[in-house]
Structure formats: structure tokens, C-alpha cells
Structure 1
Amino acid sequence: MTRIVWDFDDVDAAATPQAHLDYLERTEAFPPMAAVREHTYAALPPGRGVDVGCGRGRAVADLTALGRPAVGADRSDAMVRSARERFPACEYTTADATALPFEDESLDWYRSERTYLHIADPLRALAEARRVLRPGGTAVVADQDFDSTVMASSDPALTRAVVAALTDSMANGHAGTRMPALFAEAGFTDVTVQALPLAFSSLAPVAPLLIEPAGAAAVAAGAVSEDEVRAWRRGLERLDRQGTFVVAMTMFVTTGRRP
């Protein structure tokens, strides 16, 4: 299956990786994203934990400042280097979600945000989360189901086709809605899920990580033509100029306890 969404394992080879890194930093500042982070922080118990898929390290720095010693883990060397440069007082390590460098039952909490979308074997990653957590430890995973994406458009049918193609192009595009069942299958108890809205009223914040890859995924899948995608994008740009652009999706925050 064609993979369109950025894979930061390859960011070192990208022509302008700093542009990607800068975009991530701007994105994390948007109020909807900050609200999701705050929600996950509130669900974590005291003690030491890991932020899996830590990216540029914002959550690790926040949690450390809140008195929850955190280690950031990311499979991308570029992300880990960037996080260390940005927050040098915090701890980061290069590691895959399915092979974390921690002893059994050594952590109090486990957090992951917008990462399980890119994990092809989420159950294996959750088994690793269960392994590193102490009995009674908490896991919190926040992810979208990209099929929840809706947007203003002059061609709703084409928009639905583009969104479906993007969802299907990802390793685990339905991660958000799959997580409660996967938590239970991995042996977590007291599983809860909350749905948080992510809404944007301008095109710029969502163009690089949603609109552009969605259009590319739809063309690659043969769902639409390049001309159709160009016309679709022009329509979105017109709405943006008029101040009537809107796109929204849902972030699902799943919490469970390691028995």
C-alpha cells in the first residue's frame, strides 16, 4: 500500500527537513493540539514514564516541568536530535514502540500522541507498553481516526474520496477508534475513551499534514485524477480567502490501567 504521510525515519534524507521540523513546532502551538496534550497530562499518575513517539519533545518538557520525570522515545534519529537541541535538560532516546529500552515493570505511566496512526502492529506496541508499566500503571494514547475528518467543500463526494484514501494510505488510519478494543486485548483494565474535537478555520495549519498528503494519496490510489485534486485544492483556497474554510476531526484519548 502506498504510504503518503511523512515518515520521519526518512527526514534526514529530505531536501528541506528543517521546514518539516519548524512546521511541527508551529502545529503544537495551536490551541486544539495544546488542549489534547493537557488532557493527556491530567490522566497520568505521578512518577516516571515514557512519551512514545515524542517528536520534537514538547510533551516531555511539559511533563518534566510538572514533576513527572519523562523519557522521550522516538524511532527517528532526526526527531530525537531535534528534541535534545530544543530541550537539552530533558531525556530522549531512539527506540521503536515495540522495543522500548526499559526493564519490565519499571515505569509508572506511558503516553503516546499521534503515533499509533503510523504503527502497523499496534497490539504488539501495546504489549510493550504493558511490559514496561508497573502493576497499576497508566497508559494514555491519543490518536485520530482519519475517517472522522470533515471539511467545507464545494464537492463533498470528492472530499469523502480523498479522506478515505488518506486514511487507507496510513499504517493504522483508524487508530483512534480501534484503541479501546486493542487496550482490552492487550490486557489493560479500566479502559476509557474520550473524544476531543480538533477544528481549524484556516488552510495553512492543515495543508502540509492533511490536505496535500490526502490529495496525493487519492491520486496514488486511483480514486481521483490529478486535475480533480487541483480543482479541489483551488476550491479550498477560495473558501480560505473568503474566511469560510473549516476542517475538523476527532482525537480519541484512550486510557487504561496495567493490572
Structure 2
Amino acid sequence: MSKSTTTSDHRESLLRMMDAADALPGAAALRTRSYELLNLPAGASVVDVGCGAGRAVAELAEQDARAIGVDLSEQMLAAARHRWPDADFRLGDACDLPLGNGAVAGYRADKVFHDLPDAGKALAEATRVLAPGGRIVLLGQDWDTFVIDSDDPALTRTIVHARADRTVNPRAARRYRNLLLDAGFEDVAVEMHTGVFTDKTMLPMLTGIAEAARAGGAITAEQETAWAAEQTERARVGRLFLALPIFAASARRP
């Protein structure tokens, strides 16, 4: 198998995962809420940082915004341009955006800041590209706060925390308010939207965090197997329970 084929397969697998996430109960409503929090006038420019395959960019454009998608991944941008050929997608980093000073009225970042080692630097860049009075919206989950029912709560706690520890900035979402205040933003508000899952939809994510915990040495292979088997059985008989709190923070640039 060629390298290009392997890369293509990985991209398609990632796109399928992203599409599945976008289709989860409440996901579309949360995206819509983020657009409401931006409160953009018709025709205003907005940047979606970490745009991935571009769904939010397309939806913002449907609401008469001049949406710009920025992502670090050439693969994601290629997929986004294929799906939304009329949209504006650009290669760029959250800490070095391909935009001029005061170029946009809105800034949106969904599930991005947990991957950033320096959230303050990214918010300084957000301040630079936002026009005075511009709105910022940050969305994301706290990686230490997965609520999972299990017969072994101690092991579950170890698995959740071990997976969080493999994330660059796992508690960024709980810090959104203070990060925005530190960066000089005003009218800072935070909402929490909790997704509750009780079927097999999220089983791959659960077995994935157990695999990551085992790979990091936090649990043994036997513990991973047993915990994954329990969650798989719970999913089979309709007894799985996972709650994911998602934080949505909004603010205004002075």
C-alpha cells in the first residue's frame, strides 16, 4: 500500500468520525447556539478556527456571514474545499492567523483550545484579528469531566484522568471565562450544554479512552479488556450511560 493511499484512508476515517460527531443528538443545536452567541450582523466577516471539514463555515455562510475557515491540516482543508467549493478556507495556526488586524467581526473555535499549549497566545491573536466590538465564542469539553456509569468507578476514574493527561490542555474549557477575562474581553458569559448518551453511538469513544489509558501505562491490558467488555455489554443491552458537559463561552472585544 502506498503512503498516499494510507494518508487518504486516514483522512476518510477521520472525516467519518467528524461526520458522526456532527450528527450526534444536540450537536446541530449547539452549533446553532454558537452562531447565536456570535450575534453577527448580515454580511459580517467571521473566522472559524480549527474548521476541520468546514461544516460550520458552510452553515455560517448560509446565515449571510462572510465566513473564513482556518485549519492547520492540509488534509482537512482539502476535504473542506471538496465539500464546499465556494467557501473560503485557509491554512493557518490559531496563534498566527492568516488575517489582517481587525479583519473580522466574529471569532469561533470549537474543540480547539484543549489542543493549544498556550491559550493566552491564541486569545491575543483573536484580539488582533477581531474588530472593536467583535464577538468571540469558544466551545469545548473538559477532558477531566466524562461522566460514565461503570461497575468499577475507581478504574473508570483512572481511565478518564489518564486520557485527560494525554491531552495538551485538558482543562481549557473550565478556564474559558478566566482566560477571556485575562485577555481583556468584556461581557464574558459561559453556558454548559450536556450531551447524554445511552446507546452504542459513543462506544468507540469509550473503548478508545480505555485504549489510550492502557497505552499510557495507567492501566493493564487485562483492565482495559475487562472495562471495554463491560461497556460493550452495557451498550448491547441498552444500559450504557455517558454524559459529556460542553462549555460555550462568549465575550466581546472592547
Cα 1:131/1:206, change in 2 over 3 Å? farther
> Which residue identity lines up with residue 110 of structure 2 in the other structure?
E
Q: Secondary structure at the match of 1:88?
A: coil
| 2:113 matches 1:116 | yes
| 2:220 matches 1:232 | no
| 2:23 matches 1:29 | yes
- By how many angstroms is 1:42 displaced? 0.5
| 2:80 matches 1:83 | yes
Residues 130 and 253 in structure 2, CA contact (< 8 A), matched pair in contact too: yes
- By how many angstroms is 1:146 displaced? 1.5
Structure with higher RCO (Cα < 8 A, 6+ apart): 1
| Aligned twin of 2:36 | 42
Q: Provide the C-alpha distance between the structure 2 equivalents of 1:90 and 1:250, rounded to a whole number of angstroms.
A: 31
- By how many angstroms is 1:12 displaced? 7.3
Q: Secondary structure at the match of 1:102?
A: coil
- By how many angstroms is 1:103 displaced? 0.8
- By how many angstroms is 1:17 displaced? 2.7
Q: CA RMSD in A?
A: 1.6
Q: How many residues align?
A: 247
| Aligned twin of 1:17 | 11
Cα 1:212/1:77, change in 2 over 3 Å? farther
- By how many angstroms is 1:25 displaced? 1.1
Q: Secondary structure at the match of 1:104?
A: coil
| Aligned twin of 1:250 | 245
| Aligned twin of 1:142 | 139
Q: Provide the C-alpha distance between the structure 1 equivalents of 2:28 and 2:157, rounded to a whole number of angstroms.
A: 27
- By how many angstroms is 1:217 displaced? 2.7
Q: Provide the C-alpha distance between the structure 2 equivalents of 1:144 and 1:257, rounded to a whole number of angstroms.
A: 22
- Identity across matched positions, percent: 36
Cα 1:90/1:12, change in 2 over 3 Å? farther
- By how many angstroms is 1:31 displaced? 2.2
Q: Provide the C-alpha distance between the structure 1 equivalents of 2:35 and 2:6, rounded to a whole number of angstroms.
A: 30
Cα 1:31/1:131, change in 2 over 3 Å? same
